[in-house]
Amino acid sequence: MAVSLRNRLTRPRPRRAPLFAWLMVLPTVLVLLAVTVYPLVYSLRESFYRLELTFSPVATWVGFDNYVKAIRHDPRFWHALGRSFYLVVLGVGIELVLGLGLALLISRLGRLRSLVTALMLVPVMIAPVAVATEGIVIFNNSWGPLNYLLDEVGAHGPVWLGDRSVALYTILLADVWQWTPFVAIIMSAGLRTLPEDVYEAARVDGASRWGLFRTMTLPLLQPLIIVTVLLRSMDIFKTFDTVYVMTGGGPGDATETASFYTYLQGLRFFSFGYAAAVSYIQLAIISVVATLLVRRMRKGLG
């Protein structure tokens, strides 16, 4: 009796989920349908209307006009989109290089590693708005500590937030400050899983440090690097909080990102139909990256 029970119990889990399993999932599905899918369908409808809460609070059907306007007649939107992509490319690149370097340093630490990791998590966890308020104090060009330090070493710091050609890089710097530790901690977790004995053997065979890094570490870390790149790309593409607090999109439109422009159209200009259309275009872009990421994760990180 005991034996047969055992057999029954160790059979692989049933392919068909019982009713119970579906009931447990049901609340989540209902909630997510209600708070994401339903609003999206609702605003998809809005995006085909001209809906301006100030001038024409009664919506009029305009078909694809909002999309045509965004794609063909709104250079300001394209510039904002371009800036978001620019931030993604630079930000991901810088954070990955610095993060990897930092991970190599962290992995050589002994007992201090967990303390250093914990301290590094501080920027990662705090609100981007708090990062931004730190930023406006530190980057202030008349009394901020950063330009004072630069003065002391004989460099002349720029007007970090007020110069059209600099402000976007200041936003970038805030992101790099907040998220490089995140990349570093992921990478150092990855470094710990690498096979020590293979490295030992390669070192005995006279492989150089840089050679080892290029031919072994990087390829072994590749799955992790890809996931990190995708995660960071999605996040940087959505950059909003730091822009809102540190520059308000300015000077001029120098730091207007796609998210910030959508906010302007919605909450400042009250063109909700147009804002909806513009946000759908961003959703389409994010979906491409999200699909790649999900596909990666389904395969597992091995």
Partner 1 sequence: MIVAALAFFLLPVIWIALTSFKTQGEVFSYPPVFWPKGIGNFTHYSSIFGGQGGHALKDSLVVASANTALSLLVGVPTAYSFSRFRVGGDHLAFWILSIRMFPPVVSAIPLFLLFRDWGLLDTYWALIIAYLTFNVPFVVWFVKGFFDDLPRDLEEAALVDGANRWQAFAGIALRLAVPGIVTAALLAFVFSWNEFLLALFLTRSEVRTVPVALANFVGGHEILWGQIGALTILAILPVVVLALVLQRYVVRGLTFGAVKG
- Contact positions with partner 1 (CB under 8 A) in 182-201: 182, 185-186, 189-190
Kindly state the tokens that stand for 47. 């995006």
What stretch of H or E contains 60?
Answer: strand 56-61
The reply to whether 4 sits near partner 1 by the rule CB under 8 A is no
Amino acid letter, 283: L
Looking at residues 115 to 154 of the shown chain, list those that interact with partner 1 (rule: CB under 8 A). 116-130, 132-138, 142-145, 148
The reply to whether 102 sits near partner 1 by the rule CB under 8 A is yes
Q: State the binding string over 61-80 for partner 1 (x if CB under 8 A, else -).
A: --------------------
User: What share of residues in the chain are helix, strand, coil (percent, to 5)?
Assistant: 75, 5, 25
Smallest gap from Cβ 154 to partner 1, in A, equals 15
Closest to partner 1 by CB, 177 vs 202, is 177
Omega of the bond leading into 251 within 30 degrees of 0 (cis): yes
The reply to whether 91 sits near partner 1 by the rule CB under 8 A is no
Looking at residues 24 to 43 of the shown chain, list those that interact with partner 1 (rule: CB under 8 A). 24-25, 27-29, 31-32, 35-36, 38-40, 42-43
**Residues ≥6 apart with Cβ < 8 Å to 174:** 131, 132, 135, 242, 246
Distance CA 131, CA 180 (A): 14
Q: State the binding string over 203-242 for partner 1 (x if CB under 8 A, else -).
A: ---------------------x--xx--x--x--xx-xx-
The reply to whether 13 sits near partner 1 by the rule CB under 8 A is yes
* Cα end-to-end distance, the chain, whole Å: 40
